[in-house]
Structure 1
Amino acid sequence: MAENRASAYGEGVPCWVDAQLPDVEAGKRFYGGLFGWTFEAAYGGSVWARQDGEPVAALAHKTDGRMPTVWTVYFATPDAEALADRVWAAGGQVVTAPLPVAELGTTALVTDPEGAVFGLWEPAGHPGFGRRYEPGTFAWAELYARDTEHANDFYGGLFHDALFGPDAEPDFGRAAVSDVFPAEMPPHFLVHFAVEACVAAVGSVQRLGGRVQAPPFETSYGKVAVVTDNQGASFALLERLRG
């Protein structure tokens, strides 16, 4: 497994997550209570969440109330513009063209051919997660797709080395939407955060005003529960398999 403290990410490796929320202060109370995060002001009115002083996520104010309240996963790339072009050529869509974010890097939002939204991150001053794979930090990104074979072809073409190469990292999976969600649920990425004990963390979510979408269930990579925060953003809690 990769070290918790990361300084660089190869193309196609999940390197950052953010939540678009109606109320950032309410988000700070929820996630601070759940994961013990501390917060500091960042670019554009957003805040960075830190675990043990290292950046692990961002909370941003949703500027358009018609937009969904969601967590988004960002995949690293050395060239966001070139990767956005490859997404388009492979049948995806470019939602937001590559845009510099101060001195931090360049970002874009895209979708796969089924409409699942994900971000691209070309780092400059901000390489991504300072910590991961430990309680209160990013642990996994699961794509819930209608056609998993098509998804494997699409992402395998974009991110072959990250998914199938000799240094592939175990933090991006694909599953059928109907495995966990109602069949009518749109394809989407679900960000997983590591916890020590899934059942206890679910109790904390409920006490903090969130709700349970799918109670704890077993997967090949650990025990997972799907929850929402106190504003409706979905995410998952992952208790890794021991040993």
Structure 2
Amino acid sequence: MPTVTDPYTPGTPCWIDLMAPDQQAALDFYRDLFGWQGEVGPPETGGYAVCSLKGNPVAGIMAARNPDGSVPDPMPPTVWTTYLATTDVDATVNAATANGGQVIMPGMDVLTLGRMAVISDPTGAVFGLWQARDFPGAGIVNEPGAVIWNELNTRDPDTAASFYSRTLGLEAAPMEGAQGYYSLSANGRMVGGMQDLSTLEDAPPDTPSHWLPYFAVDDTDSTVAAHTRAGGNVLKPPFNMAAGRMSLLQDPQSAPFAIINTAQPA
């Protein structure tokens, strides 16, 4: 089991969470699709649900609510947020703004678990920052039902590469044989990818820059079939690519994500 025991290197994706209009429906959907276990949390956490896989934290799901508990109007987009590890949220927020980023949620303590912030990079992609204390982040990765990859999709890879390098020390490098695709490395280790949206023929021209999580699955086609039966939408049907067989999906509340089986023939 690929459990995580060491602290996440700064710049590494360490957690994801979802803000959904119907929290319980999201919990039920991902339980059935990936085998997650999770329930609405206590009031002091705003009901935040930490979902687990094989006893290890894998992702968070919360209800879309204003700080006072009211329902937002208009409702924000339903998306997965990728959190990047840092040893100092406030210093990283300052570096982000100095390099063209915008603060969506300033640094705040989350009980004794850690400190977080939410940032928009200069190309418009939103991501979180996580400074671990009692809670390091995902405790299981790279196996069916868990996150296996995090990808930045942007229309300005040069600007994005400069921002993440200056802000978090992430280094971008073109991936051989993949036009418009870059690796993202933290301290010399590849931890994610970056894709130029303008090179994708099937990406709508109004697609905003965004971070996209990939979940590992045992069988891409059967997972897509189960996803569809549960009311999800298929944005891109299963196809073979260099890393395996993948598909781009959208859950019943419109949150996009990708699935991939790296063991299936490419």
Following superposition, the deviation at residue 157 of structure 1 comes to 2.4
The aligned counterpart of 1:130 is 139
Q: Is the 8 A contact 1:4 1:134 kept in 2?
A: no
Question: Deviations along 1:39-76, whole A, 9 cap, x unmatched?
Answer: 14432111111000100001000012421111100000
Pick one of 193, 203, 214 that aligns with 1:181. 203
Pick one of 81, 100, 106 that aligns with 2:115. 106
Q: Say whether 1:53 aligns with 2:52.
A: no
Equivalent position amino acid for 1:57 in 2: A
Question: Deviations along 1:134-164, whole A, 9 cap, x unmatched?
Answer: 0000111111100222222222223336744
For residues 23 and 150 of structure 1, what CA distance do their matches in structure 2 show?
35
Aligned-partner SS, 2:105 = strand
Q: Is the 8 A contact 2:10 2:186 kept in 1?
A: no
Equivalent position amino acid for 2:49 in 1: V
Unaligned runs of 5+ in 2: 66-71, 172-183
Q: Say whether 1:152 aligns with 2:154.
A: no
Cα pair distance change 1:165/1:68, threshold 3 Å: closer
Following superposition, the deviation at residue 242 of structure 1 comes to 6.0
For residues 154 and 240 of structure 2, what CA distance do their matches in structure 1 show?
19
The aligned counterpart of 2:125 is 116
Equivalent position amino acid for 2:193 in 1: G
The aligned counterpart of 1:27 is 26
* TM-score with structure 1 setting the length: 0.92
* TM-score with structure 2 setting the length: 0.85
For residues 70 and 161 of structure 1, what CA distance do their matches in structure 2 show?
23
For residues 11 and 185 of structure 2, what CA distance do their matches in structure 1 show?
11
Q: Is the 8 A contact 2:185 2:192 kept in 1?
A: no
For residues 211 and 86 of structure 2, what CA distance do their matches in structure 1 show?
18
Cα pair distance change 1:29/1:165, threshold 3 Å: closer
Question: Deviations along 1:177-233, whole A, 9 cap, x unmatched?
Answer: 242521211111111111111111111110111010111234433322111111111
- Which of these two proteins has the greater Rg computed from alpha carbons? 2
Cα pair distance change 1:167/1:176, threshold 3 Å: closer
| Higher RCO structure (Cα 8 Å, ≥6 apart) | 1
Unaligned runs of 5+ in 1: none
For residues 186 and 227 of structure 2, what CA distance do their matches in structure 1 show?
37
Q: Say whether 1:168 aligns with 2:211.
A: no
